[in-house]
Structure 1
Amino acid sequence: MSGIKIEQLNDNLVISWLLSKIEIPISEIVEVTLDDTYGGEEKTAIRIGTPYGETDRVVIHTHSNTYILFTTNGVSIKNKISSFMND
């Protein structure tokens, strides 16, 4: 199973997982945090990845949505997204 891939394309954060691709304008991102709950606290969040077998959850809060990424390298993904926000 392939993992979640994060990249910056112009002014967008691009999240790729399996055959899905989600683009989020970086200017819309309010906060990026780690979540230690199993399925994420926000019930209406958009979930990316498989919750079972993954140890980390990265939560991306935007002005309109919340995204939860299920991954094994949460700190790395969080830092990468934060660096895109600071550019």
Structure 2
Amino acid sequence: MFEVYVKQVDTDIVIKWLFTKIKIPIADIVTITTDDTYGGKEKTAIRIGMPYGTTDRVVIVTKKSTYLLFTTNYLSIQNKLNSYIHAN
């Protein structure tokens, strides 16, 4: 389980990676984008996943925090997140 997993549970988005589990209320999400820099543009972001040079980065900006997801299937995760947001 080295990949970052994202799913919707009620009105929250749950992000799982290794022993980490983060819940983000969907109502708190401001934007979802990608980041093409190695370590991420946002220096105070909460980093989830393995930051290899070949991984892509999905950025979730909420009202309180920024999350940087290191993943190899960024398009799938980004599409899931966008569908969860637009469904609510």
Q: Which TM-score applies when normalising by structure 2?
A: 0.95
Specify the code of the residue in structure 1 equivalent to 2:62. Answer: T
Alpha-carbon RMSD: 1.0
Deviations 1:30-87 (A, max 9, x none): 0000110001000000000010254210000000100000000011101100000001
Structure 2 regions of 5+ residues with no counterpart?
Answer: none
Give distance in 2, aligned partners of 1:54 and 1:23.
Answer: 26
Structure 1 regions of 5+ residues with no counterpart?
Answer: none
2:42 aligns with 42
1:18-37 → structure 2 map (5 Å cutoff): 18-37=18-37
Decide whether the 8 Å contact of 1:54 with 1:70 is kept in 2. no
- Which consecutive segments of 4 or more residues in structure 1 shift more than 3 A? none
Q: Which TM-score applies when normalising by structure 1?
A: 0.96
1:28 is displaced (CA, Å) by 0.2
Give distance in 1, aligned partners of 2:12 and 2:49.
Answer: 20
What is the aligned residue count? 87
1:1-87 → structure 2 map (5 Å cutoff): 1-87=1-87
